[in-house]
Amino acid sequence: APDIPLANVKAHLSQLQSIAAANGGNRAHGRPGYLASANYVRGQLDAAGFSTVLQSFTYNGATGYNLIADWPGGDPNDILMVGAHLDSVTAGPGINDNGSGSAAILETALEVARQSLQPVKHLRFAWWGAEEQGLRGSQFYVNNLPAAERARIKGYLNFDMVGSPNAGYFIYDGDNSDGTGSGPGPAGSAALERTLQDYFTSIGVPTRGTDFDGRSDYGPFIAVGIPAGGTFTGAEGTKSSAQAGLWGGTAGQAFDVCYHRSCDTTANVNDTALDRNADAIAYAVWTIGTAVPPA
Ligand code: PHE
Ligand code: ZN
Ligand code: ZN
Ligand code: ZN
Ligand code: CA
């Protein structure tokens, strides 16, 4: 699998920050900075050869948008989706939450194009609107999938906050192997977890599970039985001393002290965490997307 260029991911984050600055300081649902963000990402994907659709919906009296990008080819009955929410809160530019996931999956998609990847699976990338209002964009997408199309989606990978400044390395606990918190995800989620785990094992970075607690856009997918997975580097939760021992950083401090604040800028990103997670995304897309299914 390719090494995703960190500099390119960071260049997308700079663009998102500029978009916020030019639009009242945020990229929130119903604000002009959101649509400008979606148009920026769309422009990159269109130029690379993706087929893009801007799906609109209404929430709370404002128009929201999901950006859906399909890479031509692959088995249309065997779809791997990769998604991130593109909206911020109104308080700030939302660079770690969730410019980080948005930029990391964008650069992975652009790498697919640069390599003219011909995957076995059909690859579909998604940037969700109005996550911060309660997963509204991803819920709208899943609600409006025809049953036959829903059945073709064999997995969904979610990336929300993958560059937290005081980072942890969390992978959604698909099989509830730690026996705590929410139950397991739909059958198949454990395999997605394992693939992401394999990447971090290969670079010698320890990980921990994080529960499907319903706080990000995998929620509507697991609710209809679609296997899900993904990574997360922590939000407002406090890093424990055990976690600081595992990963470095500062015990007793939040994974992201600027969570949902105006200081969630390009300065609020841990380059190492962002780089590792971008490479993990690419590893998962290449590994899962190009695997020949059993006969
Ligand atoms: N979805 C939350 C937000 O955008 C953050 C979060 C991501 C929390 C993943 C838990 C797990 O604010
Ligand atoms: Zn890298
Ligand atoms: Zn948020
Ligand atoms: Zn988020
Ligand atoms: Ca668990």
ipTM of the complex as predicted: 0.91
Q: Report the candidate in 139, 158, 156, 157 with the shortest Cα–Cα distance to residue 29.
A: 139
- Is 272 inside a domain boundary? yes
Mutate to test the pocket of ligand 1, among 157, 215, 217, 238 (most ligand atoms within 8 A of CB): 215
Whether residue 1 is contained in a domain is answered as: no
In a domain, 173, yes or no: yes
Q: Whole-angstrom Cα distance, residue 273 to residue 278?
A: 8
Q: Is position 295 within any domain?
A: no
Summarize pLDDT for 237-277 with one digit per residue, the tens: 999 999 999 999 999 999 999 999 999 999 999 999 999 99
Substitution candidate for ligand 1 out of 87, 161, 238, 277 with most atoms within 8 A of CB = 161
Cα of 203 vs centre of ligand 5, distance in Å, is 24
CA-closest residue to ligand 1 atom 11: 215
**Alpha helices in 49-182, H assignment, sequence order:** 101-114, 136-143, 147-152
Domains in the chain, number:
1
Is pTM beyond 0.95 here?
A: yes
Q: How far is the CA of 148 from the centre of ligand 1 (A)?
A: 30
Question: What ligand is nearest to the CA atom of residue 208?
Answer: 5
Which of 86, 156, 213, 216 to probe ligand 1 with, by most ligand atoms within 8 A of CB?
Answer: 216
The residue ranges of DSSP E strands in the chain, in sequence order, are: 51-59, 62-71, 75-85, 121-128, 153-159, 170-172, 208-210, 228-232
Range of the domain at 93: 6-290
Report yes or no: 266 and 95 within 8 Å, Cβ to Cβ: yes
Give pLDDT tens digits for 17-45: 999 999 999 999 999 999 999 999 999 99
Structure-token pair, residue 162 = 């993958």
CATH code, domain carrying 269: 3.40.630.10
Q: What are the distances in angstroms from CA 176 to CA 221, 232, 271, 277?
A: 17, 16, 29, 21
Environment class of 3 (CB within 10 Å of its CB; exposed 0-12, middle 13-18, buried 19+): exposed
Query: Which of ligand 1's atoms lies nearest the C-alpha of 85?
Result: 4
In a domain, 269, yes or no: yes
- List pocket residues of ligand 1, CB cut-off 6 Å: 97, 131-132, 160-161, 215-216, 232, 235
Over residues 160-171, the mean pLDDT reads 99
Q: Given pLDDT bands bounded at 50, 70 and 90, which one contains residue 104?
A: very high
Q: Which two tokens stand for residue 210?
A: 């994080």
**Three-state SS annotation for 197-215:** HHHHHHCCCCCEEECCCCC
Cis before residue 158, ω within 30 degrees of 0? no
Marked catalytic residue, from 107, 111, 131, 193 = 131
The percentage of the chain sitting over the pLDDT mark of 90, rounded to a whole number, equals 96
pLDDT digits (tens, 9 = 90+) for 46-93: 999 999 999 999 999 999 999 999 999 999 999 999 999 999 999 999
Contact 111, 2 (CB under 8 A): yes
Measured from the alpha carbon of residue 1, the closest ligand is: 2
CA of 278 to the centre of ligand 2 (A): 7
Q: Is 107 a catalytic residue?
A: no
In a domain, 274, yes or no: yes
What pLDDT sits at residue 116?
A: 98
Work out which ligand 1 atom sits closest to the CA atom of 132: 4
Written in H, E and C, the secondary structure of 145-170 is CCHHHHHHEEEEEEECCCCCCCCCCE
